[in-house]
Amino acid sequence: MPDRFKWTIFMTLLLSFSLYSAHLYITPPPNEQELDGVALQGKNIWQKKNCQSCHQFYGLGGYLGPDLTNTVRRRTPEQTRAFLKHGTDIMPDFRLTEDEIQAVQAFLQAMDASGTADPNRFNPTWYGNIKTD
Ligand code: HEC
């Protein structure tokens, strides 16, 4: 293959990657919302404890645990609290304080309010995004 041809392919791929990345960063996510004080605290705990390594929001994250985007719809606050308080055989007990548990629950409420995600029913488009109806 001539070098010029390889160079053209490389530049085309690089340009496509750059344009697509720019598009993703510029397009605001749907239902974007600011988190209030307690939910923001919960988000910080989420990040500090690296919950995302096992859980997903909108299908993105680790896959050892379930997607938590709408977990508060499926569980009572007491059930969610029990998971956060004690962990399970697989999920570690993070020894969260009562305030931390409430903050994480507020964060999960805010995530639920941001939209609906059921990764088992995701409908991918040909360009790699998920169709949202
Ligand atoms: C090592 C992996 C792992 C980490 C880290 C982890 N979890 Fe989990 N989590 C799980 C698994 C797996 C389950 C499902 C229950 C089970 O099978 O043990 C679960 C279940 C849950 C549930 C209940 C979900 C439902 O509706 O059934 C919540 C809420 C939850 N985790 C929140 C968190 C939060 C908040 C953090 C961070 C502080 C966290 N998890 C960190 C693995 C993890």
pLDDT recorded at residue 115: 86
pLDDT recorded at residue 116: 87
pLDDT tens, residue order, the chain (133 aa) = 889 999 999 999 999 999 999 998 998 876 667 788 999 999 999 999 999 999 999 889 999 999 999 999 999 999 999 999 999 999 999 999 999 999 999 999 999 998 888 888 888 889 888 776 6
The residue nearest atom 25 of ligand 1, judged by CA position, is 71
Q: Rounded to the nearest whole angstrom, what is the distance from the C-alpha of residue 100 to the centroid of ligand 1?
A: 15
pLDDT recorded at residue 128: 82
pLDDT recorded at residue 110: 94
Pocket residues: Cβ below 6 A from ligand 1: 46, 49, 51, 53-55, 64-66, 68, 71, 74-75, 80, 83-84, 88-92, 94, 104
- CA 101 from chain centre, in angstroms, equals 19
Class of domain 35-121 as given by CATH: mainly alpha
Alpha carbon distance 77, 112 (integer Å) = 13
pLDDT recorded at residue 132: 65
pLDDT recorded at residue 133: 60
- CA 114 from chain centre, in angstroms, equals 11
Looking at residue 52, the DSSP 8-state letter turns out to be G
Strand ranges in the chain using DSSP code E only, listed in sequence order: 56-57, 60-61
* Residue of 47, 46, 42, 50 lying closest to 105 (CA atoms): 42
Alpha carbon distance 113, 109 (integer Å) = 6
Q: What is the 3-state secondary structure (H, E, C) of 16-28?
A: HHHHHHHHHHHCC
Q: Rounded to the nearest whole angstrom, what is the distance from the C-alpha of residue 94 to the centroid of ligand 1?
A: 10
